[in-house]
Amino acid sequence: MEEGTGLKVIARMESQFPTKFGIPRQSGLVEELRSTVTFEPEYRCPDALRGIEGFSHLWLIWGFSENRRETWSPTVRPPRLGGNERLGVFATRSPFRPNGLGLSCVKLERVELSTPKGPVLHVSGADLMDGTPIYDIKPYVPYADCRPEASEGFAPAPAETLKVVISPEMEGRIPPERVQALRGVLAWDPRPHYQADPERVYGMAFAGLEVRFTVDGRTLTVVDVTENLTGKGQ
């Protein structure tokens, strides 16, 4: 970005995550997650979306609004490596960057051109917190954007996800349309990689709920689900 050039917020994400904890570490991991992109008043123009329905996926360029710092470090400690090894910031997807910009690929489920909030994009697989500012939207073009031969560096896909155990009683407290999305989020292990205490109870805010769980080995067990009145997890 050239000096003196500002980025304008064109839209904001509306998702099931009021806090950072529990958000999938990458986009596309949990396709069951449904979110909406709502535009700022200046950009609520249906013509700006003309033709977008022809694309199955979109790139969202957004801001790490909860990780603002006045300074930056050339190295960071990726949680993927247990927080014990430093790597160059430009070799990671750390939110602590000179410019706090994120990039996510989401599936476009449908487009609503006329709502009380103006045009709305319904997407799935997003990894953004509720209220995240979005600076730009671009179509995903498979022939140019897909690179099957790409190497994965220090971040290969996990060999397996966690087994998620939710009792009938706990599942009955979750809106039916949210159950599969929650299972998907939990299966990818929301904990920091360096935490492995089987006795610790974790709390995650999701879709108006406070979901508490433990993890023992490769099994995650939901121990409580209550209404979240504060919108905050831990």
What secondary structure does DSSP assign to 22-66, as a single string? T--SSTTS-TT-EEEEEE-GGG--GGGGTTGGG-SEEEEEEE-TT
The residues with which 211 forms a beta bridge, in sequence order, are 204, 225
pLDDT at 54 over 80: yes
Which CATH number is 11-145's, of 2.40.30.70, 3.40.50.300, 3.40.630.10, 3.50.50.100? 2.40.30.70
What's the mean pLDDT when you consider all of the chain? Answer: 90
* Range(s) within the chain of domains with CATH label 3.30.2310.20: 163-227
- Name the pTM for this structure: 0.88
Fold of the 163-227 domain = YaeB-like fold (3.30.2310)
Kindly state the percentage of the chain with pLDDT values over 90.
72
Q: Identify the residue whose tokens are 């706990």.
A: 170
> What's the mean pLDDT in 148-155?
87
**What values do phi and psi take at 176, rounded to 5?**
-50, -35
Break the chain down into helix, strand, coil percent, rounded to 5: 15, 30, 55
Structure tokens at 183: 């299972």
Q: Which strand (E) or helix (H) includes residue 104?
A: strand 101-112
Cα-Cα-Cα-Cα dihedral sign, residues 156, 100, 11, 139: negative
Contact 63, 47 (CB under 8 A): no
CA distance from start to end of the chain: 35
